[in-house]
Structure 1
Amino acid sequence: MANESRQYTSELPANLYYAAGVRELDRIAIEEQGIAGFELMSRAGQAAFDALRDLWPQARELCIFCGTGNNGGDGYVIAAVAEKAGFEAHCVQVGDVEKIQGEALIALNHAKEAGASFESFDPEKPYRGDVVVDALLGTGLTGSVRELYAQAIVAMNDSACPILAVDIPSGLCADTGTCLGSTAKAQATVTFIAMKQGLLTGQAPDYVGSLLFAGLEVPDEVLQQVAPSATLLSSRDVERWLPPRSRLAHKGQNGHVLVIGGDKGMGGAVAMAAEAAGRVGAGLISVVTRPQHISPILARRPECMVIGVDEGEDIALYLEKADVIVIGPGIGQQPWGQQLLRQALATDKPLVLDADGLNLLASWHQQADVMSQRVNWVLTPHPGEAARLLGSSVEDLMKNRFDAVSSLQQKYSAAVVLKGAGSLIASPQGDVSVSNSGNPGMASGGMGDVLSGVIGGLIAQGLALGDAAACGVWVHGAAADRATEQTGQRGLLATDLMPHLRRLVNQAGR
C-alpha cells in the first residue's frame, strides 16, 4: 500500500471502463474542467515514479522504453522526475522520434533538460536496469503489435529485470485482457484516471502483476459523465448483500437448498456443494444422489438430509420442498443424470446449474431453445463449458470474455458466471461485474462444486440471483486467498475453503 504522500493506491475503484470511455474521461477533464493535458501527464509520471520507488527502494538506474504517443510521454516524465531525484534515467526510444508531438514532445524535452540519456532501440542490444519501465504502448492498441514494438517488448522481457508497466502492459488489450502479440510481463502496473476492464481478466493476470491505481485528481463530476462498462467486486459489496441477521432468525427463514448430483464414483462433488451451501448460511440442506453415497455424506455432514435414488425415480416431492436447486456436481452425462436434470428443469424453482449439468444442456440442442425461456437460474461454466453452450471454441471465446458472458446471459436468460482468473458475472439484467479474488491454487478438483453450493446457499437466504452469483464468486475466491496465506497455493483442496467461507460471510454480516 502506498504511503499517504503518494498519488497512487492498491485499493482499486469499483467502476470499470472500456478504453474509449477512459479516453472520453481524459477529454472531459481537459476540455471541460480545464486541466491541462501536460498536467495530467505530469501527475501520471509522478505517480508511476512514486510506485517504482516504493516497490523497489534500492533501485537507482532506470531503463525506460518509450513509444511515440502519450504513453511514451508518461515515460519521459518518469525520466525527468527520476533524474531530479538523483536516479540515472536511460530512455530507449522505440519508433520514429519525429512523430512525437503535443504533450509527449514537451515531456521529451523536459527529460533531456533534466539530464536523462537517450538512444534509439537496437533489437540486437541487451538492455538492463534496476527497473525497466514499459512506456511503449497505451490503451489505444487494438490490432497486433507491430514488429519493432514486438522486438522491444521481447527485449524488456528478456532483460531479467523487474518491469513497471505504465497504464497497461504493452501488447495487452485494455478492453478484453487478451494479448495482441508480444506482451510485456510486468511485476507491477500503475493505471491512470479510471480502471480499464481488460486489466482484470483474460490473459491479463499473467502480465499485469500487482495492479495499482492513480486517479490523477480527476474530479468525481468528470467520472460521472461516462457510464462504466462493468464493476469490480469487493468486500463492501458482500457487506451490502449480507446484513446482520435478526436475533429472531430461524432455519426456515434461511432457505432450503436441494443439491442434486453424485453419480457412481462422484459422490464427493455433491457432498462438497452441500456443505458449502450450509457454510454460507443456508437453513436446510437436502441431497439427492446415488444410494451408495448416503452413508459417506452423512458421516461427513450429518446435518444434511440425504436421499438415494436409482434410475428413473420421481423426485417431485423433494423438488417441491426446496427453495433453490443446485444441480450438476458429479451428475455425469448418463441416463441417471439426464432424467434428474429434466425433472429439475421442469420446476419453477430457482436453479444453479454446474458441471455436467451444463454439458447436458449444451448437448440438448432442440431443448435448449425451450430451456432458454427459464429466467430464474444461474449458469456457472468454465471456458470449456461456456464454449459448448455457445457453440463456439475456447480459443474464440477467450478473445473476449466480456462478450462471451454477455452472450451466454442473453442466450439463456440467466445469471451467468464465466469462471477463470478474473471471473465475470452477468446479472439477469445484463450488468457485468468482475471478481479479482482467488489465486492459482484453485486449479484443483472440486472448486466449482463448492462455488455452486455457495451460490445456492446465498439464493436460499434471499439474495437475488445476480447478487448471489456475484457475492458467491467473490467470497469463494477470497476464501481461497485466506486458505493459502500461511501454507501457499500448491496443494490447496476445495474442502480447505470451508472454514474461511464461514468466516467471510460472518465478517460481512456484523
Structure 2
Amino acid sequence: MPSPVHSRDLYTVEQVRALDRRAIDELGVPGVELMRRAAWAGLSSLRRHWPQAHRIAVHCGPGNNGGDGFLLATLAREAGLQVEVLALADAARGDAAEARRAWESTGGAVHRWAGEGGLPRVDVHVDALYGTGLRRAPEAVAAALIERINADACPVLALDVPSGLDADTGRCPGVAIRAEATVSFIAAKRGLCTGQAADHTGRLELDMLGLPDTLWQDIAPDAQLLQPDHLPPRARAAHKGANGHVLAIGGDHGTAGAIRLCGEAALRAGAGLVSVATRAEHLLALNAARPELMAHAVDGPQALQALLERASVLALGPGLGQHAWGHALWLTALDAGLPLVLDADGLNLLAREPRRLAQPAVLTPHPGEAARLLHQDVAQVEADRYAAVRALAERYGAVAVLKGAGSLVADPAGRVAVCPWGNPGMASGGMGDLLTGVVAALLAQGCDAWDAACLGVGLHARAGDLAARQGERGLLAGDLLGPLRTLGNGLETDA
C-alpha cells in the first residue's frame, strides 16, 4: 500500500459505493470520467510493473469494471501497445457501454469468450471481469476464463479487485484470479487485506483517482491497516521492576516447548521479569535452556497463588491442557483479576465455560479456536473474518486477535485493525506461543489491551518477515526471537 492520506483506511463495499455516488452526485465527476481515470491508473501500474510489455490482453465483463478495461485498452493502443480484448458479453451496461463504444469506434475488436478455446499470446493479462459487486461464485463461462488466465504463464494485473474475490470479506466463493498486482481505485477495500485475498491480490496498490479530500468527509473507515511501530526508548534510570512481571502459565506433560517459547518471547519483547508456572518435570530443561526465565513447579491452585501475587500480567494457555491440572490453574488465574493474554487451551477452556472478562484481556485465537468460542464452524468464521473478530470481542468483553493471513484485531466497541505483514512460513508450531508472550510483555510495560494487541501483532508478523528472508519453508518460531528484539527497539523499519 502507498502512504497518501486515507491509504491506511479500509472500507466496506457499501461505503465504496457511497464514495462513488458522492464523487458523481456531489463533486460532479461523471462516471465515465472516473472510469477514464481508473484506466489511466491501471495502465500506469502496468507500465511500471512490466515496462517491457508490448502485447496485452484485456478481459472485460459487462459492468463498470469492464468499462475500466475497455478504456485501458483504448489508452494502451494509443500508447503503442498491441491490445486484444476479450469480453464475457455482447454488450456492456451503463457507463461501461460508452467505454466499450470508445474502444470499438477506434477500430478495436472485441472477441466474445464463449467458455472454450485458447488465450492470445501476450506479455500481460488485465483482469477487468468483475468489480466489487460480486459476492457469489463466478458463472461457468467466466469461471472457465479465470481458470485459463490463471493457468497461463503470463502475469496478471487486476483492476480494482481480482475477479472472484469478495471485496468485503476476502473470501473466494469459487474460482478467482491470481494476480501479480492489483490496483484498487478511490478507497482500499477491506476484503483485499485478509483471508484468501493474500493468494490473489499480489502487490496491492491504491489510486485515489485525483479526487479531493472532501470526498471522504463523514464516511469513517470500517477498519485500518497497522503501521510499523515500537515502544519509545526506555528512561536511562529504568530498572527491571519498572517493566512489569509476566507470569506465563502452562506446559502440561510433554508441552514444555510451548511455555518456554511464550516466556522467552516475553523477555525479548521487553518484560522486566518473566516467571513460568509449569510442571515440575520441565524445570531442569527450562533452567538449562533459558536461565533468565524464573521457572516454578506448580502442582495446583495453592502453589500458583503465591506466584500470582507477584505478577502484573498473565500469559495463560500455551501447553496448558484441558485436564484437571490445566483447568484448575485456568480458573485460579482468571479469578485473580490481573490483565492477561489468553491463547491455546486457555481459549478452549473459555469456549467450554464462557464468561465475559472483567479485567483487561487479549484473546488470540486461530480460526479453529475462534469457531469454538463462537459456537460456529471454521467455514463460518472464514466466510466473514471481520464479523467473526468483532463478535469475539463483543461476546467476551476483550480485545480479540483473529490470526491468519491478514490477522485482525478488534475491541468490544467494534474498532478493527488489520495486519499487512506476515508470511506462509509462519504457519508452523510455536508461532502463537510467541505472540502470547509478546502481547503479555507489552501489557506489562504499560500498554493498554488495544495497543498491546496491535503493536504485538505487528511486531510478531514483521519479525516473521525478517526471519523469512532466509526462506519461508523451514521457518521456526525461535527464529523470530532475534528479529523481535531488533524491531522492538526500532532498529529495523523495512520489514
Q: TM-score, normalised by structure 1?
A: 0.93
Within the candidate set 237, 243, 260, 2:249 is matched to: 260
Q: Partners in 2 of 1:305 and 1:182 — Cα distance?
A: 52
Deviations for 1:130-166, whole angstroms, at most 9, x for unmatched residues?
A: 1111101100112332233223222322333211111
Among candidates 130, 153, 157, match of residue 150 of structure 2: 157
Give 1:490's aligned residue: 473
Matches within 5 A, 1:228-307: 228-235=221-228, 238-239=229-230, 242-307=231-296
Contact 2:115 2:142 in 1 (8 A): no
User: 2:433 matched to which residue of 1?
Assistant: 449
Q: 1:509 to 1:342 in 2, by over 3 A?
A: farther
Shift of 1:113: 4.0
Aligned equivalents of 1:309, 1:256: Cα separation in 2: 18
> How far 1:508 moved relative to its partner?
7.2
- Relative to structure 1, the CA distance from residue 12 to residue 90 in structure 2 (aligned partners, 3 Å threshold; closer, same or farther) is farther
**Preserved CA contact (<8 Å) 1:83 1:116:** no
Q: Which residue of 1 aligns with 2:307?
A: 318
1:415 counterpart (399, 415, 418): 399
After superposition, the C-alpha distances for 1:265-308 in whole angstroms (9 at most, x for unaligned) are 11111111111111111111111111121222222222221111
Of 80, 87, 105, 1:93 maps to 87
Match of 1:465 among 425, 432, 449: 449
* Residue aligned with 2:59, SS: strand
Matches of 1:204 and 1:450, distance apart in 2:
25
Match of 1:117, SS?
coil
The answer to whether the 8 A contact 1:83-1:115 is kept is: no
Hey, what's the Cα distance between the residues in 2 that align with 1:178 and 1:337? 36
What stretches of structure 1 of length at least 5 have no aligned partner?
A: 2-7
Q: CA RMSD in A?
A: 1.9
Deviations 1:334-384 (A, max 9, x none): 2111111111011110010101111122123xxx1xx21434211111001
Task: Provide the C-alpha distance between the structure 2 equivalents of 1:115 and 1:79, rounded to a whole number of angstroms.
Answer: 12
| Preserved contact between residue 58 and residue 86 of structure 2 (Cα < 8 Å) | yes
Displacement of 1:312 after TM fit? 5.2
Question: What residue number does 2:177 align with?
Answer: 184
Give, in whole Å, the separation in 1 of the partners of 2:412 and 2:115.
50
What's the counterpart of residue 63 of structure 1? Answer: 57
C-alpha contact 2:186 2:207 (8 A) present in aligned 1: yes
Q: Indicate yes or no: 2:132 matched with 1:139.
A: yes
Q: What SS is found at the alignment partner of 2:33?
A: helix
Separation of aligned partners in 2, 1:37 and 1:101: 9
Query: 1:31 Cα deviation (Å)?
Result: 1.9
Could you tell me which residue of structure 1 aligns to residue 7 of structure 2?
13
Q: Following TM superposition, by how much is the alpha carbon of 1:495 offset from its aligned partner in structure 2, in angstroms?
A: 0.6
Which structure 2 residues correspond to residues 381-400 of structure 1 after superposition, within 5 A? 381-400=365-384
The reply to whether residue 377 of structure 1 matches residue 369 of structure 2 is no
CA shift, 1:184, in A, is 1.1
Cα deviation per residue 1:228-260 (whole Å; 9 max; x = unaligned)?
11111011xx24xx2232223222221111101
Partner of 1:196: 189
Q: Which of the residues 98, 104, 109 maps onto 1:112?
A: 104
Per the alignment, residue 503 of structure 1 pairs with 486
> 1:32 aligned to 2:31?
no
Q: Provide the aligned length of Structure 1 versus Structure 2.
A: 492
Determine the C-alpha separation between the residues in 2 that align with 1:454 and 1:333.
23
Query: What are the superposed Cα offsets for residues 74-107 of structure 1, whole Å, 9 maximum, x if unpaired?
Result: 101210111011111111111241x4332x2232
**For 2:321, what is the secondary structure of its paired residue?**
coil
Distance 1:264 1:10, change over 3 A: farther
The letter for the 1-side match of 2:367 is P
User: Helix, strand or coil for the counterpart of 1:208?
Assistant: coil
**Equivalent pair of 1:421/1:439 in contact (CA under 8 Å):** yes
Unaligned runs of 5+ in 2: none
Q: How far apart are the structure 2 equivalents of 1:298 and 1:60?
A: 63
Q: Percent identity of the aligned residues? A: 49
- Distance (whole Å) between structure 1 residues aligned to residue 357 and residue 159 of structure 2: 46
Separation in structure 1 between the aligned mates of residue 445 and residue 37 of structure 2, nearest angstrom = 46
Deviation of the 1:313 alpha carbon: 4.0
Aligned-partner residue type, residue 348 of structure 1: G
In the alignment, structure 1 residue 207 sits paired with structure 2 residue 190:
no
Q: Could you tell me whether the CA contact under 8 Å between 1:16 and 1:231 is conserved in 2? A: yes
Do the aligned residues in 2 keep the contact of 1:11 with 1:213 (CA within 8 Å)?
A: no
How far 1:30 moved relative to its partner? Answer: 2.1
Partner of 1:5: none
Distance apart, 1:473 and its partner CA: 0.7
Rounded to whole Å, the distance in 1 between the matches of 2:159 and 2:6 is 16
User: Structure 1: how far apart are the matches of 2:63 and 2:281?
Assistant: 66
Distance (Å, rounded) in 2 between the aligned partners of 1:219 and 1:274: 49
Q: Are 1:127 and 2:119 matched, yes or no?
A: yes
State the SS of the aligned residue for 2:134.
coil
Cα deviations across residues 450-499 of structure 1 (Å, max 9, x unaligned)? 000000000001111011111111110000001111x1101100010011
Structure-to-structure mapping, 1:422-441, within 5 angstroms: 422-441=406-425
What amino acid is aligned across from residue 490 of structure 1 in structure 2? R
Superposition deviation, residue 421 in structure 1? 0.4
Partner AA of 2:191 in structure 1: G
Aligned residues of 2:24 and 2:30 also touching (Cα < 8 A): yes
- Answer whether contact 1:257 1:457 (CA < 8 A) is retained: yes
Q: CA–CA distance in 1 between the matches of 2:60 and 2:481?
A: 48
What is the identity, as a one-letter code, of the residue corresponding to 2:62? T
Q: Is the 8 A contact 1:9 1:212 kept in 2?
A: no
Query: How far did 1:9 drift?
Result: 7.5
**Counterparts in 2 of 1:17 and 1:84: CA distance versus 1, 3 Å:** same
SS in 2 for 1:416: strand
Q: Which moved more, 1:447-456 or 1:210-219?
A: 210-219
Match of 2:297 in 1: 308
Q: What is the distance in 2 between the residues matched to 1:321 and 1:250? A: 16
Q: Distance in 2 between matches of 1:508 and 1:391?
A: 42
For residues 413 and 151 of structure 1, the distance between their equivalents in structure 2, rounded to whole angstroms, comes to 46
Query: Which 4+ residue blocks in structure 1 deviate beyond 6 angstroms?
Result: 8-12
Give secondary structure in 2 for the equivalent of 1:63: strand
Q: Which residue of 2 aligns with 1:344?
A: 333
